[in-house]
Chains A and B, each alone.
Chain A
Amino acid sequence: MSVDATLSFEEAMEKYDPVLGFEVHVELNTKTKMFSSAPNVFGDEPNTNVNEVDLGMPGVLPVVNRTAIESSIKIGLALNCTIAETCRFARKNYFYPDTPKNFQTSQYDEPIAYDGYLDIELSDGTVFRVEIERAHMEEDAGKLTHMGGSAGRIQGADYSLVDYNRSGVPLVEIVTKPIQGAGSRAPELAKAYVAAVREIVKNLGVSDAKMERGNVRCDANVSLRPHGRERFGIRSETKNVNSLRAVEHAVRYEIQRHAAVLDSGEPVIQETRHWHEDTRSTTSGRAKSDADDYRYFPEPDLVPIVASREWVEELRATLPEPPADRRKRLQADWGYSDLEFRDVVNAGVMDEIEETIAAGAAATVARKWWMGEIVGRAKNADVDPGQLGVKPETIVELNKMVEAGKINNKMAAEVLDGVLAGEGTPAEIVEKRGLAVVSDDGPLLEAIDAALAAQPDVADKIRAGKLQAIGAIVGGVMKATRGQADAGRVKELILQRLGVEG
């Protein structure tokens, strides 16, 4: 497979202005399919979550799932769209084994939701408005597995196996208007946009929103034009970019590839590209052809959908707080600075901190633990912080021990490691490892006397009122007690010993 030429991202940005567009497919988490009563369940034995409708048997009649319509309207509302008063389903005709009916039931000229927008906040706080062209309903297709040939790719495959369990799962396809003006932030915006859509559908409770399961799938359109030119360049469409990181990488790669094509004087080919996570590059799929003539026509077996304004308002009233509003509220409640809060969001621990505070921790304590201790451990383990397995109750318990002077911060971090290693509850680990702060004054006084005797000049300074010198004595005591002393108590005792008012 030949490798495409690319320019560096910086050079591409110097010469060209990127225009993006996204189609994001969201699988709804209804109990049943869009048009049949077969269960909408992931990962079961192949071809068992199907009935005659999903298999496209002759003479069967589809019936629309009311909940799927309501979920679709909710998505439309959350994307600030207008909800169509009436809309219809249409047949999109094509022959491919993933669709046993030889057409996909979709919406064509009458999407259920249109003309919306989403304000996307980038990592530095810049807000970028992405306009939504439409959100329409359709059904998912079956899953093909290509056998023989090389590594499951269709190139060189001998045959394909089809599982129709996914066939008929309700989908909402969200299509943006062309996104202009993102410049060098295009890859970051791409990732942030898909993340925002995923967050919204998860927050609405209408999708499980797991990208690794294909609940949210993104096709990314990229084109370039010289700076200052209004007309768009020719675009490529990179299919099935199925992680947030991949969205960012794919857009970046396509910008670099297009720039090299344009630089060579060739036109960009309008085509489908396939994203490869292993090489972080795309390869040519299928060029746009007259096979894309889908001959849409209204689905005769499904009557129109009428969304009365009363129904729409009823649904609007059930919408949860939008994620962006929630963030503003949480930041105000917690009293974090803009920078502190942005770090929390970017580290992906906002929900965890909220749960920790709900479990009884102060906002500053929750942030200290998540940002100071857990994020770093998650990075080392290469997992999301939330997946590390730290329970809010653990943090609350650890913090109580620190505040009560039973353990100090250093020990608390050690106890946390013990909890993560499955050694038990914080109390059990403190017990087992003998991690108690030395609060019995006897051994402390012994260590203090030794430290004072070792540094008589420092003792004199403290007697003379230079209280900041006390650190050297505290340090000596901590060393002698191997960090098990309560630093606050040590300070008090040193001052007492020297007869100085604290």
Chain B
Amino acid sequence: MAAINRDDVAHLARLAHIEMSAEELDRMAGELAVIVDSVKSVSEAAGDDVPATSHPIPLTNVFREDVVGHTFTAEQSLSGAPDAYEGRFKVPAILDED
């Protein structure tokens, strides 16, 4: 049984700011369910003695020394901004969050 349903997809779409039609939600719920099932099969292949991993390459502690490098000018920073004002990005006021 699939661990993801249409409501879950609608919830995720909203969190991800993706607009989806009713048909898309139906279709995606079906597709994601297949993917979730597939991942479950892979999980079953690993025994309890295999720890979960987030990084496939056995690499740790990739660090940078604390030395100042390059920076942008305000013009460069704002060159791709849809709107700007006095050296800053101008965005719609969003009341939703703080």
Contacts and interface: CB of A to CB of B under 8 A. Distances in A.
Interface of A: 30-32, 36-39, 45-52, 55, 63-69, 86, 88, 93-97, 145-146, 148-149, 154-155, 157-164, 239, 272, 274, 285-286, 290-291, 293, 295, 298, 300, 302-306
Nearest to B97: A96
B97 A291 contact: yes
Contacts of B5: none
Contacts of A295: 12, 15
17 contacts: A37-B64, A45-B74, A45-B87, A47-B89, A48-B77, A51-B70, A64-B62, A65-B66, A66-B63, A86-B60, A146-B93, A159-B90, A161-B88, A161-B89, A162-B89, A300-B55, A306-B60
A62 B53 CA distance: 20
Contact of A49 (B15, B57, B71, B93): B71
A66, A274, A306: most-surrounded residue (chain B CB, <10 A): A66
B78 A63 contact: no
Contacts of A305: 60-61
Contact of A47 (B57, B77, B91): B77
Chain A to chain B: the 10 pairs with minimum beta-carbon distance, closest first? A37-B69, A298-B54, A67-B66, A66-B63, A161-B88, A47-B77, A157-B93, A162-B89, A63-B64, A97-B91
Nearest to B75: A47
B74 A37 contact: no
A50 B75 CA distance: 12
Contact of A306 (B15, B61, B64, B92): B61
Given A48-B77, A161-B85, A66 B91 contact: no
Nearest to B57: A303
Contact of B64 (A51, A64, A304): A64
Nearest to A274: B98
A154 B72 contact: no
A38 B62 contact: no
Contacts of B11: 290, 293
Given A162-B88, A286-B98, A303-B55, A293 B15 contact: yes
B77 A55 contact: yes
Nearest to A302: B62
Contacts of A69: 63
A159 B61 contact: no
Given A97-B94, A303-B57, A47 B88 contact: yes
A45 B97 CA distance: 27
Contacts of A39: 68, 71
B61 A163 contact: no
A51 to B, nearest CB: 6
Contacts of A162: 88-91
Main secondary structure of the interface of A (DSSP, over half): loop
B68 A48 contact: no
B41 interface: no
Contacts of B93: 146, 148-149, 154, 157-160
Nearest to B89: A162
B67 interface: yes
A146 B93 CA distance: 7
A385 B96 CA distance: 43
Contact of A66 (B66, B72, B92, B94): B66
Given A158-B93, A291-B97, A64 B63 contact: yes
Contacts of B71: 38-39, 48-51
Contacts of A154: 93-95, 98
Q: Residue among B78, B91, B97 with the most chain A CB within 10 A?
A: B97
A153 to B, nearest CB: 10
A243 to B, nearest CB: 19
A67 B64 CA distance: 9
Contacts of B69: 32, 36-38, 51
A467 B98 CA distance: 75
Contacts of B60: 86, 303-306
A48 B74 contact: yes
Contact of A159 (B15, B54, B64, B91): B91
Contacts of A302: 62
Contacts of B15: 93, 290-291, 293, 295
Given A67-B65, A69-B63, A291-B97, 8 more contacts: A46-B86, A49-B71, A96-B97, A97-B89, A159-B90, A163-B87, A303-B57, A303-B61
A303 B59 contact: yes
A42 to B, nearest CB: 15
A239 B98 CA distance: 10
B60 to A, nearest CB: 4
Contacts of A46: 74, 86-88
Contacts of B86: 46, 161
A65 B61 contact: no
A130 to B, nearest CB: 26
A272 B89 CA distance: 27
Tell me which of A37, A52, A64, A306 has the highest count of chain B C-beta atoms within 10 A of its own C-beta.
Answer: A37
A179 to B, nearest CB: 24
B94 A38 contact: no
Contact of A155 (B54, B74, B87, B95): B95
A303 B62 contact: yes
A48 B15 CA distance: 31
